[in-house]
Amino acid sequence: MVTSKLGVAFFGERRGAGNDGLGPVSMSGPASLGGAAGGAQKVAYKDKLTDEQVEEIQESFYIFEKEDKGLDQKNLKNAMKALGFDPSREELRQLMIICDPDKDGWVEIQEFTEMMAYQVSERALNQELRIAFSLFDRGEKGSIALNDLRAVVQHLGEDLDDDALVRMIQAADTDGDGEVSEQEYLAVIKKSNFF
C-alpha cells in the first residue's frame, strides 16, 4: 500500500484498529448491514455517534412506532425520512430483512438505532471523502486524472514518478477509462480498509 502523504490523502487515512472486515454497507449495496442485526464481532456504530445523534435516531423511532411494537416497513421509511434519508422500495425491503431478525414484521429500537447509526456514520464518512475527492479533482470535472495527481504531488513536494501515479490510478480505475471517478474513489478507499 502506498504510504506517502499523497497515498494517505488519496487512499484515506487508516482510522484506528477498529476495522473488522465487516465491509462497507451502502444504501444501494447488498443486504448486509455490517453486523447491525447481530453477530458476535459487530462494531457498535451507535458508539461512534454523539449522544445527541443517538437521541435523534431514537426520537424518530418513537414518533413512528406503532402500538409499542416497533416500525413496520412504511414507518421505517417515515422514520428514516425524518432523519434525512430517502430509501427506495428495494432498499427498504432489504433493510426490513436485516432489521427484523425475528421476522415478526416489526423493527425494534435496538435494530433501528444500530442500523441508523451505521447510516449516519456512513453519510459523514462519504461527506469527508467527497471533500478529499474534490481536492484532487481540479476543475470539478468529476474525475481524477494523471494531471490532477501530479499537481497534488508537486504541491505536497512528494517524489513520485508518473509510473507510481499511474499505478495508483489503475488501482482505483475499475471501468478502465484512465481516470478515477468519485464512485471509484469512494469504492477503493472503502475496499482498502483505509478508513
Instruction: Give the residues lining the site for Ca ion (CB under 5 A).
Output: 100, 102, 104, 106, 173, 175, 177
Minimal distance, residue 50 CB to Ca ion, in Å: 27
The CB-of-100 to Ca ion minimum distance in angstroms stands at 4
Phi, psi of 38, deg, nearest 5: 130, 180
Min dist CB 107 to Ca ion, Å, is: 6
CB of 19 to Ca ion, least distance (A): 25
Between 91 and 100, CB nearer to Ca ion: 100
Q: Name the DSSP letter for residue 181.
A: E
CB-wise, 90 or 177, nearer to Ca ion?
177
- Residue 43 CB, nearest distance to Ca ion (Å)? 21
Set of cell numbers at residue 43 = 462494531
Distance of CA 10 to the CA centre of its chain: 16
Q: With respect to Ca ion, which residue has the nearer C-beta, 67 or 102?
A: 102
Q: Are the beta carbons of 181 and 142 closer than 8 angstroms?
A: yes
Measured from the CB atom, the residue of 153 and 188 that comes closer to Ca ion is 188
- Of 84 and 101, nearer to Ca ion (C-beta) is 101
Phi and psi at residue 126, in whole multiples of 5°?
-60, -35
Residues near 34 by beta carbon (within 8 Å), at least 6 away in sequence? 22, 23, 24, 25, 42, 43, 45, 118
Can you name the residues that pair with 66 across neighbouring β-strands?
Answer: 70
Q: Is the dihedral of CA 78, 83, 88, 93 positive or negative?
A: negative
What is the length of the chain?
A: 195
